[in-house]
Each structure stands twice: as structure tokens, then as C-alpha cells.
Structure 1
């Protein structure tokens, strides 16, 4: 790809509502993003500068990312558990449109209780809780498409 073409793409992304664009031509692939990458780089640079001032050593980006992950894990409580989707499909909170939901925020559930249904390829799959506890939050709305390993519920273990 020519530099002038790449510059035009950058201008198009900057001047429009497009957040990201990816173009592939033959064996060349280019991705231009104006939000997520910039924010991530600014965070990494500020953390890197802070760490460099404190220790006087250079810090690799991977190390900064690992530090951020460790901080997030520490913030989570030990007794909080997240139920995630075991498959891609459509989320249903109730067994039928006119039926009450399996669980709601504030409900107490036991290990093995059905918490929702995920429809995949026209098959209704009942999803069971793998812990006992109180439902803190329902993160997905009824009939919403869900991805594999997407967080569905936050449970406070008892």
C-alpha cells in the first residue's frame, strides 16, 4: 500500500464517526483505530512513566499489562463469582415468554439451580449455577445474543 493511501485512510477515520477500519490488500493488512488504541496507549504511557520515575528502570508494555490485570483481580472480592455463557447463542431469562424469570437480582440460588436458557442452533440449553449464593446482578437482558464465555450473572457466594 502506498503511504498516500494510508494517509487518506487516517484522515477519513479522524474526520468521520468511524472508530476503526481494517483493510486487506493482497498480503498487506492495515488497521486504523482512533479510540481504543489511543486510550490504551495513553494509559500504558502514564503507567510506564510513573513506574520509571519510581524505580529508574525501563518497563515493558507486557509488564504494565500484567500489573493492571493483577490490580483488577485484587479489586474483586473473593466471595464474588461470575456465571459465564458456555456457548454462543440467545439468552432467555425465563422458560417461556409469559413465565416468571428463573432468577432475579437479590434471589438466593443453590448449586445446580437453572439460572437461564441459551438457545443455540434451535436447541434450548438450560444453564445451571455452579455455586450457591445470592444474585448480585443480571448482566444480560432477555433475548439478547451472547458470546462464548460472556459474563451473565454476578453471584455472591454463601
Structure 2
């Protein structure tokens, strides 16, 4: 069975490619992805087990389709418009992974709104495939807003922080 992170990577690769439909079978599981204009649909169905004794043919019932994952583009667009209007710098995720505000659950957060940062200041960690990647601020300035919650899954290029440059 594929791990969730492997499925996420497959979704990312299909999304970035020019193919419209993708099907993959491994270890008794089947994954089928189809692109739509508003998002992607991922369906994971259990594989059918073939028995050696012939049985009468009956209709096969499949598992209900997984919900279509869609990003609310209107909300994202309005936040991006606000960024452009106020000349704030966006710190974006360089990869697909899990966002963490602190180096460990019992440690203080790296930054919070109002924190001053420099170009090489670590602002968060994005964990991808068991690797913890430290994300730097990229600019000198002040953190205005944190756009994601601790432990939230983030996509490649997703804005994480808004920074008022100095």
C-alpha cells in the first residue's frame, strides 16, 4: 500500500505534467487520478481478489469515490491581491510537506506576527518524506501574518508568511 506522502508526490507530479488521467496499481491497491479544471480527483479502490473457482458473474460494487480535493481559489486570490496592494513579501513553501512553527513540539515558535527577521532567519520547518527542511525568511523585515497553521499540509509555492520588508 502506498503511503500518504507517496500519494501526495504522485498528485504533485500529475498536476505539473500535461497528462489528464493517471492510473497506478501496486500491492493490491489501485490509484486513479483525473485532472479537472477546478482541482483533482483521487480515487483509491481496493483491488479485486481473483479466486481459482469460477463464480457466477455479478455486478461489482466499488468503494464510493473519494471527495474531490479543491482549493478555494477565490480566497487565495483575494489574499494575493492584498499582498500586491500592500507590497508585502510572501515567504512560500519550496516543497510539498507538513508545516511546523517550532523545531519540536515543546519548543518556542521560530517567529510570530511582529517578529523581526533577517534574510537568513529560520521562520519554520517543512517536513517532507521524514526530512525536516528549515525555511529561511529570504528578506529583512517584520512578520505581518502567518498564513498556515502548525501541522498543516502545504503545497509547493503556497504562501506561508507575509513579511513587511525593511
Structure 1 length-normalised TM:
0.53
Partner of 1:106: 114
Report the count of equivalent residues. 95
Give distance in 2, aligned partners of 1:77 and 1:106: 16
Which of residues 112, 115, 121 is equivalent to 2:123?
Answer: 115
Q: What's 1:76 paired with?
A: 85
Q: Does 1:92 align with 2:106?
A: no
The equivalent residue for 1:150 is 158
Decide whether the 8 Å contact of 2:83 with 2:90 is kept in 1: no
- Structure having the higher helix fraction is 1
Aligned to 2:86, the other structure's residue is in SS state coil
Q: Counterparts of 2:137 and 2:122 in 1: how far apart (Å)? A: 6
Query: Residues 1-158 of structure 1: matches in 2 within 5 Å?
Result: 72=81, 76-78=85-87, 80-158=88-166
Task: Determine the C-alpha separation between the residues in 1 that align with 2:158 and 2:108.
Answer: 23
Please give the per-residue CA displacement for 1:117-155, whole angstroms capped at 9, x wherever unaligned: 000000000001100100000011111100000010000
Q: Give the whole-Å Cα distance in 1 for the aligned partners of 2:116 and 2:83.
A: 25
The alpha-carbon deviation at position 77 of structure 1 amounts to 2.4
* Gap change, CA 1:106 and 1:120, over 3 Å in 2: same
Mapped to 2, the partners of 1:147 and 1:132 lie a distance apart of 24
SS at match of 1:76: helix
Superposed CA RMSD in Å reads 3.0
Q: Which runs of 5+ in 2 are unaligned?
A: 1-20, 22-33, 39-69
| Structure 1 gap segments, 5+ residues each | 1-23, 41-67
Larger radius of gyration: 1
